Amino acid sequence: MLSPKVEKALNKQIKIEAESSQIYLAMASWAEINGFEGVAQFMYAQTDEERMHMLKIVKFVNERGGHALVSDLKAPPTQFGSAKEMFETLFKHEVFVSKSINELVDITLAEKDYATHNFLQWYIAEQIEEEATARTILDKIELIGEEKSGFYLFDKDIKAMITPLPTDI
Ligand code: OFO
C-alpha cells in the first residue's frame, strides 16, 4: 500500500512524464516542418518513450492500491530558434526530470517504502542514459557549428540513436 505522500509524489511524476511527452512532440513537429527529418524521427520516438515512462508509473500506482491521476498539462514551447537551441532545452529538461526523480527517491526513503524505491531504480538508470544522449548530441552540434553539410550528416546520424520501445510496460 502506498502512503499518501508517496502516492502524491508519484502522481506529480506522472504529470512530469506526460509533460515531457508533450515537449518532445512539440519538438518533433518543429523539426519536421523545418526540414530536420532525422531529428523529427528521434523526437517522435522520444515522445512515445516518455508516454511509456508515464504509463509505467500509472500502472505501478494502481497496482499498489493507489489512484493514478490524469491531470492537465503545462503547454510545451512550440518555437525554437535553432536545432541547437532545441537540444539545449531538451538537455535542461532532462536535468530537471532527474532532479524530480531524485526527490521522489528521497521521499520513498523517508517513508520507508522500499518497493517504490526499488521501482524507481529503473528511472534513475534511464535518466543517466537520457542526459548522456542529450550531452552527446549537444557536443556533436557544437562541433558542426554553422556548417550546413555537417548538419545534414548529423540529421542522418541521429536516426541511429533512436532506441526501440520495450513491449513489456
Ligand atoms: Fe522520462 O525520461 Fe526523459 O524526461
Encode pLDDT of 18-30 as tens digits.
Answer: 999 999 999 999 9
pLDDT beyond 80 at 168: no
C-alpha 147 to ligand 1 mean position (Å)? 30
Q: Please give the pLDDT value at position 20.
A: 98
pLDDT beyond 70 at 169: no
C-alpha 162 to ligand 1 mean position (Å)? 14
Q: Please give the pLDDT value at position 147.
A: 80
Residue 61, burial from CB neighbour count under 10 angstroms (0-12, 13-18, 19+): buried
pLDDT beyond 90 at 58: yes
Mutate to test the pocket of ligand 1, among 19, 48, 130 (most ligand atoms within 8 A of CB): 130
Q: Average pLDDT, whole number, for the chain?
A: 95
The percentage of residues in the chain with a pLDDT greater than 70, rounded to a whole number, is: 98
Q: Which cell is 148 given? A: 550546413
Domain boundaries, the chain: 4-71+83-161
Atom 3 (ligand 1): residue with closest C-alpha? 94
Q: Structurally, what CATH architecture does the domain formed by 4-71+83-161 represent?
A: Up-down Bundle (1.20)
Q: Which cell is 13 given? A: 511524476
| 31-35 contacts, C-beta under 8 A, 24 or more apart | 31/83, 31/86, 34/83
pLDDT beyond 90 at 33: yes
Ligand 1 nearest atom to the CA of residue 126, by list position? 2
Q: Please give the pLDDT value at position 83.
A: 92
Ligand 1 pocket, Cβ-based, cut-off 6 angstroms:
17, 20, 50, 53, 94, 97, 126, 130
C-alpha 58 to ligand 1 mean position (Å)? 15
Q: Which cell is 153 given? A: 550528416
pLDDT beyond 80 at 166: no
